[in-house]
Amino acid sequence: MTDQRIDDRISKIVNSLDRNVPAEVDARVRAAAESRRGRRAGRWRHKPLWLTLVPGAAVVLLAALILLPVTAKKAAAPISEIRTEFELAGKDIKIIFFQKPDFNLFQED
C-alpha cells in the first residue's frame, strides 16, 4: 500500500463516523496535515543515508585502529658491539675492527 492509499482509507474511516466537527477546527486540522505532508517526505528521504553513514564510520575507525599499529615504524634496536677480524695471508698482518654501541657515523670531532 502506498501512503496515499493509506491516507484515503483513514480519511474514509474518519469521515464515516457521525461526529459534528466545527468547520474551523476541520480546516485547521486539514491545513496542518497538508503542511506536514511535504516536510515528512523530505525528512524520510535522508534517513537511510544516516543509517549507512554511522556503521560505515565505525568500520573505518576500526580499520584505522587495527592498521595503524601494524604500519607504524618500529624504533631500531641499538647497535651492539661488533668485532670484525681480517688476516692478510703472507703478510702476517691481522686487522681487528670494533664498533661500539655509542658509535656515531656523522659525528665530527
- The structural domains of the chain, with segments of one domain joined by +, span 3-71
Q: What is the mean pLDDT of residues 59-85?
A: 81
pLDDT band at 60 (very low <50, low <70, confident <90, very high): very high
| Average pLDDT value for the chain | 78
Question: What nine digits make up the cell of 5?
Answer: 492509499
Cα 23 off chain centre by: 53
38/83: higher pLDDT: 83
Residues 6 or more apart whose Cβ sits within 8 Å of residue 100: 81
Q: What is the mean pLDDT of residues 7-11?
A: 85
What is the predicted pLDDT for the residue at 62?
92
- Residue 41 identity: A
Contacts 24+ apart (CB under 8 A), 38-47: none
CA distances (Å), origin 80, targets 17, 59, 69, 103, 108: 95, 43, 26, 10, 22
